[in-house]
Structure 1
Amino acid sequence: MKRLLIPLLFLLALPCTFAFRQDLSQPVQLDWETHFKGKADMRSPFFALTAMTWKYSYESTVYRNRVAIKLKNEVTIDKTRSWVKWDKIKNPEIRASLLHHEQGHANIQYVLLLEAERVLKNRNYAVSNYKAQISELANQISSFFDTMQRNYDDETEHGSNHKMQTRWDEIIQDKIDESRAAMAELQK
């Protein structure tokens, strides 16, 4: 079987000034026709590339020496920068396997979204430097999930190691379940 090599391009957009909303109930569900409209890089050894962006912004209110933030948090798929080499995935099984692997990347970004929501909203920030504290936490979250994405590709051999892909599917689902449970606990 041919090895499938799929890189993941991460873009981190730090505090933005425009508003956006994200459905926190489920990850974005990828499909080839909707999310992969970019021109394939024919020099790349990979069969597909998914470009995703995490954006966050917040409004802050200071009251009695406490800072409260209203967080806006979103993960998007950059359709114009995501691409696939259609000539390399004509076989339906390879096409499905590759899309499944790419969905794993989107699911990891969903966990990032949930964790950013939980961590950034539920901290006590110092009035004197809350912007720096929020920025540092966001950078830590981003760094952690960038590493997780790289480990996912490395350990699954970009989706071609089916045993490790199955293991990572379980890891990712466990992380989704943990993050959802943590969010539900905070909302009580």
Structure 2
Amino acid sequence: MKKLIIVALLLITLPFSFGFKEGFNDPVRLDWETYFKGPADTQSPFFALTAMTWKYSYESTVYRNRVAIKLKNEVSIDKKRSWVKWDKIKNPQVSADLLHHEQGHVNIQYILLSEAERVLKNRNYSVRNYKAEISKLANEISDYFDTMQRNYDAETEHGSNHKMQARWDKIIQDKAEESRAATAADLQ
């Protein structure tokens, strides 16, 4: 079994964070009390940080020059490394907006999880190089979603630009629907 662990720390100034349950039908709904247990970084310019980890591993079987993989794919929120600056979010609307933004990060990570599941399972790998092929593909998926997370923060100004936040909410919703549709098509 080969394991690769990709850790993504997401710095957030405004809204949410998330976690995923096994089976990942829907992203976990964030709340401040459950997911933000770590001490705040007083040196950070951000109001919150959501620490998330994507892990995948697989077992492979070679049969008649074909590689079959059994994939284990999960996303988790590290509650002890995720934090919020409580003194910065005393206003209920600021708190709600920040949590909403953080939920966007969770939702993006959920899309990564779904896409990784679909893409990694539905490839034909060569018997000689399947380990390198899987690793390369997983890294490409991770890089794509890391860039998406950075763009989300930059364009929404960490959730403080409400017009861009609404635009990204739609982008994330559309990408989640595309991912679900692609997964459903693969199952047929």
TM-score, normalized by the shorter chain, greater than 0.5 = yes
The equivalent of 1:38 in structure 2 is 38
Q: What whole-Å deviation, never above 9, does each CA across 1:8-49 have from its counterpart, x for those lacking one?
A: 9xxxxxxxxxxxx72221012111000000000011111000
Q: Secondary structure at the match of 1:40?
A: coil
Report 1:105-144 matches (<5 A): 105-144=105-144
The equivalent of 1:51 in structure 2 is 51
Give the Å deviation of 1:105.
Answer: 0.2
Report 1:1-188 matches (<5 A): 5=13, 22-188=22-188
Instruction: Give the aligned residue type for 1:148.
Output: M
Give the Å deviation of 1:145.
Answer: 0.2
TM-score normalised according to structure 1 size: 0.89
Contact 1:7 1:50 in 2 (8 A): no
Runs of 4+ aligned residues of structure 1 deviating over 6 Å after TM superposition are none
Q: What whole-Å deviation, never above 9, does each CA across 1:95-135 have from its counterpart, x for those lacking one?
A: 00000000000000000000000100000000001000000
Contact 2:15 2:159 in 1 (8 A): no
CA–CA separation in structure 1 for the residues paired with 2:97 and 2:41:
20
Instruction: Give the aligned residue type for 2:48.
Output: A
Q: Secondary structure at the match of 1:55?
A: strand
CA–CA separation in structure 1 for the residues paired with 2:49 and 2:24:
24
Instruction: Give the aligned residue type for 1:5.
Output: T
Instruction: Give the aligned residue type for 1:163.
Output: K
Identity %: 76
The equivalent of 2:8 in structure 1 is none
Give the Å deviation of 1:165.
Answer: 0.1
CA RMSD of aligned residues (A): 1.5
Q: Secondary structure at the match of 1:49?
A: strand
CA–CA separation in structure 2 for the residues paired with 1:39 and 1:181:
39
Instruction: Give the aligned residue type for 1:160.
Output: S
> How many residues were matched structurally?
173
Give the Å deviation of 1:7.
Answer: 11
CA–CA separation in structure 1 for the residues paired with 2:29 and 2:117:
20
CA–CA separation in structure 2 for the residues paired with 1:76 and 1:95:
22
TM-score normalised according to structure 2 size: 0.89
Contact 1:7 1:153 in 2 (8 A): no
> Which segments of 5 or more consecutive residues in structure 1 lack a partner in the other structure?
9-20
CA–CA separation in structure 2 for the residues paired with 1:80 and 1:89:
19
> Which segments of 5 or more consecutive residues in structure 2 lack a partner in the other structure?
1-11
CA–CA separation in structure 2 for the residues paired with 1:146 and 1:169:
17
Q: Secondary structure at the match of 1:168?
A: helix
